[in-house]
Amino acid sequence: MNYELLQKLCEAPGVPGAEAPVKKVFVEALEPLVDEVKEDSLGNLLLLKRGSGPRVLLDAHLDEVGFLVSGIEGSFLRVIPLGGMDPKVVYGQRLVVWGQRKLSAVVVSYPPHLGKDKKDLAIEEMYLDTGLLPEKLGELVEIGSPVTFPSFFEETEDAIMAKALDDRVGLFVIAEALAQANPKVDLVVSASVQEEIGLRGAQALAQKISPEVVIVLEGTFAADTPGVPSSLKATLCGQGPEIRLCDARFVADRDLSLGLAQLAKEKDIAHQVIVKNRGGTNASALQVASGSVRTAAISVPVRYLHAPVSIAFKKDIEATVALLKAFLENPQDALSYRWSYPS
């Protein structure tokens, strides 16, 4: 599998409300594979590949966690976070400020030579140091300028290490599956905006499309690192995509989700059916935005979500592509599945 597209997606900046660079990469990759490309007034991309069969919406979100400049104080900047981040992974990091030109900045840290700084700072309390004099900084940066973690992408023998795998890996899975599949559905792909600040893009989508089936493709948190209690170790790297039955905001269509799991078994695709009460995806919004829609969520396990660099294993990405391809080519195998209580 060629991961060049994933690299381009991960390296592009795209905080909520400013997703244009990621959108451009995705459109260039998908346009030859679809019949029509649209964009709504919120910025959501809609790509249509017309066909017979059920109307299916595949969704992955464009935006990444990041920051906006909220204050300029001499040679320093203040920011607010867009999306949930642990301040500890931000403190002392290098960031990129997208002003009149691309600027490097360092999150101010307390010198250990002065003794311990015992205060845990909120992101809003931190300062960014650009190494510029005040007059120059004021010319190059304005309130509202986006700020991101630096672009990073490295392909190892087994894994991808990159910025913003949440949810550039979901976009990549859709692109790869469409490139490989001969779909037996009437397909709409949504590359949605502003997921990280409350699923805002998704809430506007389903009402316009009226799909029969929604499948959301995500990068989900893998809780399989040393020190995590066994009771919290749900989704694991190396075990294939997560097929989610529930999370903090979502109860999946049980028949569809288990039908996808059954399809994975038949095709010998590694997968894991997961129940969790944490996190959330666009699935919860798309499921009920236009009344009710059969909805499932398929996710690639990713370590270190919402941090400067995340890790996903190639075998998990490739198994997710294989499962989505199998569904697009055999939709009724999953859609006809029915679960029942034993008698």
Would you please indicate which residues are annotated as catalytic (active-site) residues?
195
Which CA distances in Å does 190 have to 29, 67, 80, 214, 311?
Answer: 14, 24, 28, 10, 24
Half-sphere exposure of 73 (CA within 13 A, CB side): 11
- Cα R_g (the chain), whole angstroms: 21
In the block, which residue shows the tokens 């919406």?
57
Q: Exposure of 232 by Cβ count < 10 A (0-12 exposed, 13-18 middle, 19+ buried)?
A: exposed
CA distance linking residue 88 with residue 246, whole number of Å: 29
Q: What are the start-end ranges of the E strands in the chain?
A: 36-39, 45-49, 55-61, 66-73, 76-82, 94-98, 102-107, 128-129, 146-148, 153-155, 159-162, 186-192, 213-221, 242-246, 272-275, 294-302, 310-313
- The candidate with the shortest Cα–Cα distance to 75, out of 119, 108, 120, 102, is 108
Structure tokens belonging to residue 165: 């795998």
C-alpha–C-alpha distance, residues 297 and 242, integer Å: 8
Q: How far is CA 268 from CA 319, 322, 323, in A?
A: 10, 10, 10
Alpha-carbon separation of residue 84 from 65, 87, 101, 190 (angstroms): 7, 9, 26, 23
Task: Let me know: does 84 contact 77? Beta carbons within 8 Å.
Answer: no
Helices 20-30 and 4-11, axial angle in degrees (round to 10): 160
What pairs with residue 128 in β-bridges? 77, 107
